[in-house]
Each structure stands twice: as C-alpha cells, then as structure tokens.
Structure 1
Amino acid sequence: MTLATQTPNDDRGSVDVRQRFFIEDSPVRGDVVRLSRSYATTIAQKAYPEAIKRLLGEMLTAASLLIGTVKIDGHLSIQLQSSDSDSLLNWAMAECNQDGVIRALASWKAETDEQIHAWDKMTLADEAFAELGSTGQGVLFINIQPDGGEAYQGIVERTHDTLSECLAHYQKQSAQIPTLINLASDGLQAGGILVQMLPRTAEEAYEIEQNEDAGIDDDLWIRLSVLTRTVKDEELTTLDANEIIYRLYNEESVVAPDPVALAFGCTCSREKCATAIEQIGEAEALDILEEQNGTFEMDCGFCGEVYTFDKDNVTAIFAE
C-alpha cells in the first residue's frame, strides 16, 4: 500500500494496531502504534492515579514500537525503577510480545493523605516519570526475552525528562541508529510513532559509491525529523495510524505492509503459581495455609485473576 496515494480516511480495521511504514528507496523505516481497548483494559485492573495511567499508556506504546525493531520470537518489556525511597512511584513495567499481546503494571505509594493529595495534583505522564528522581537518577531497563533463548537487558540512561527522549537517546547511543520517538497518552487512549534511519548494507553503500547519480536524498532524514516533530499529542491518541502517516509524509513515497493487531493479554496460570509455591517450600506454604484458615489466594496484578490453594493442592504440588 502506498500511503502517498491513499485518502486519509482509509481505515484498515482495529484501532489497536502497530502500522509499519517505509520510505521507498531509502534506509528509513518507522512504526505508528495506536491503543484504545487494550490500553483501557490494562489500566482498569487497578485504581491508578491519572499520571500513572498516562505513563503506562506511553510505556505500552513504547514497548509495542520497540519490539518491531528487534527480530525475535519472544517479548520485550520496559521497566522503570525508582532509586529514591521518597519517590511516590516505586516501579512500572510494560510488555509486548511478537504477537502483539500487551500488558502493564505499576506500584506506587498512596498510604498517607499527603501522598494521595500529591497524586491528585498530577495529570501528566511526565509528572509520574519525574517521580523516578532528577535527571541521572532512577533506572530504566529494556528487557528482551526470546522464547527459549538467552535474555538481554539494556540499561537506558536517564538523560531527559521524558520517556520518549530517553528511549530515542538509548537507540542512538547503543544501536548507533538515529531514532525519533513521540509518545502520547490521554488516560483513555495512547499512541506513538518511531522513525529510524537504518545503516545501509555494504552492497548498498558500494552501489552508491560507484554511482554518483544513484538518486540519494541527502536531506531526507532532516526533512523527516522536522515533519515528525510536528505531530501533536492529540493526533497520536485520536487519529487512525494510517491518517497520522498520511498527514506527516504525504509528499514522500511511503509504503506500508499490513498492520499488526495489538490486544491485552496475560501469561499468568495456575501452573506458574504452583511453581512459585514450590520455591517457598512445603513447610512455609503449610504455615501460610494455617495462618489463613486453610486456604490462600494468589492474584495476578496484570489481569486480576485469582488462584485459590488449599492443603490438598499444596500437598499435591510437593508430591509430584
């Protein structure tokens, strides 16, 4: 599909998508992510403060964008961890797998009236992000876990006051790939765009070197950078992915494959809970049962599913 020749209102289905696009005859690629139902389902699991809702929207969008930059069968997660005991945000994480299944979770302090009042005054994702501490404090991770393979963790330097700028800086510094990232969330919907200029292959570089008339557009990245920075937050959260691409790059030769649908999902299971019980040991598990009148529950923070275990269940776990 060549977006330069389509109308802006061409809607290709679900709002919850990652739409890839390429600029023809160039090393530039990008993705647009739009989240609605899956994001709403995620933040409905807990009574999150408004600022954390928006931060999780940005994180879900970022994870959905970044997994498109790696070729794995597995999942990618973004994790924020405060290094300040006085921070109101303990940690937050968002995850997307190669099939477009997303989920997110956060922990925050709201035990006192002062803390609750502080959250009530925050309405922006950047305010929740700032609870990591000042620039240089707090820890950001990108975790990549291939199915059946070795996990990789990248530490993202806290160089800026927004998640998008930190992630773009990480991509440029660690992968040596110029990257633009815009993220937005209004507490109801979320969206974002990622644009990268990939390195040319040795064959492409040789062809360019041998052919001065190869038609290389030296100003393309500068032009795309200016255009990409013009996108407004409300456009990222309300417009169809294809319309965003069309509005920004309708004078470029843009080609886009079929979009990837995104949806909320969870990987919790009774079997995983049983594994966790195994790790604490039979004696301690039985002690917990006694303290809780013969049953205890394990609930999933991501989806709210509750798994109940009694003495027979625990005994069966350790009898296997």
Structure 2
Amino acid sequence: MSAGHDVLPDPGVLPLPGAAATSLGMADRITEAILRNELSLVFQPQADVATGRLCGFEALVRWRLADGTEIPPDLFVPVAEASDAIFVLGEWVLRRACSTAARWLRTGMADVPVAVNVSARQLAEPGLARCVLGILAETGLPASNLKLELTETALLDGSAAVTQCLLELRGAGVQAVLDDFGTGYSSLALLRRVPLEGVKIDRQFVQAMVEQRDSAAIVHAVVSLAHALGLRVVAEGVETRDQLLFLRAYGCDRIQGYLLSRPLAEADVPGFIREIGAPPTAG
C-alpha cells in the first residue's frame, strides 16, 4: 500500500487535528473510516508509450471526513503500514479495486488491469496469496486483470516465503511489479530472484532526466536492463512532453503521471476511457 506519489498537495487537504494525529489514534480511525464509508479509491491511468492507448490503472486510496476534510495519504498510509490497520486497509483496497475493475469488464467499458500496492507487512503474511485469490473469486475479476505493486523493502523483508507467495499468485495469473525501482540497494539481485512482470522507474529520475545527464543515463540503463530480463517498464511521474520524448527514445513501455492524467474518481473514468481509447473487452 503506497500513498500515491502522483498527487500534488491540495490547499483543501488538512491533517487530523490534535491528538487524533498520533499514530495510535490514527490507526484506530483508519479502521473506523472503513466502517463509516469515508474511504474511496482514485485511479491513476497508465498508457502505452508507442500508441498512447490506455493500458491500465493504479488504484490509490483516499480518505475524506464527513465535513469534507481530506486526510493526506502521506499521513495515514505510513501509520497503517506500521500497525495492524494495514491488514484491514489493504484488504479493503484490494476488494474495492477488484470489484470496480470487474464491473468495468462486465459492462464492456474496457479490459485493462488494475494495480494495487501491497506493503511489506501484507506480503509477509502467510495467507496473502489465499486472500488475493479469494477476493478475485468473490468479485469475478480475472487474475490477469490484477497486478500487485511491491516495494523493494517488502521483497527484502520476506525471504523464500515471499518468493513462494508470488510464484503461487503468478501461477494463477496475477502479476507483480517492483515499484520505485532505482531507489534501493539490491534491485539487481531482486530482479533475478523474484518473479516479476515489470518495474516502475521512480519519479525522481524521470522528472530530472531532461536537465540532468546522470538521471537520463539511469533511466536509459533501467529500461535496457529490464528489457534484457524480459520485464516491462513503467515510468512514474511523467509531467512534460520532453520527458515523454526521452522515454520514447529509450524504449520505455508505459507512462503514468500528470501528462496523461491526474488520479481519477471512479465516476470520471468512463469519460477518460472514451477520450483516450482502451482495449475493448473480449466478446
């Protein structure tokens, strides 16, 4: 579960006041927020670099209080990840994302995968694969329409049990993607050891590559390395045409960021799909 890096600060978004902002109080309120229907998902589109067509969404969680105040994900997601609230929150996000994507598929809107972030603590749980497959069966979403986005920290913390979990999910059709690639210290080893479908280049390199030769070299090298290993590459935080031109020249597969779209409320997704174009559903 990540906070969602492609969201700019909003002057109307305020932290919880006083003692409610403490870790314990926040963790308790996250669970309560689910019961009160204060949480929702927004969907960050991804597009194919070569064709410009929609090829997926990343689901990001948002929290709005009854009075309209938004709790920034950078505030509540880390608290959840440090407490048992992450298990309740993570399962809620996964179920809601799968249910929404299944509805898009049933109504013929589009046949594209939805990506859901999974934290280190979730990945370390022995029952994660069973939970994911159970939610897919419950919602009717094909396994191929779900991707799990994992941080390097999550993979490093899990050892052989994590690899086995990901192998089980891949065997069922669920793919895993390494998020924020290039920001850790053991990424090359992970690419060899862990069953992954792709990597996401961290936004800090993407946004600096036009002005900084070293960032451009890193992006180019990541794309080349990933392709040599048979992995797809998604660039995060793409905001300008120049960045897109660089990524196209380097052979990057997909982009995500404000150049394409801000994260969309569910109600805004159909109009976006009509505008950009998406693969039709089978049949």
TM-score by length of 2: 0.29
Larger radius of gyration: 1
Structure showing the higher helix proportion among its residues: 2
Q: Provide TM-score, normalisation by structure 1.
A: 0.26
- Where is the strand percentage greater, Structure 1 or Structure 2? 1
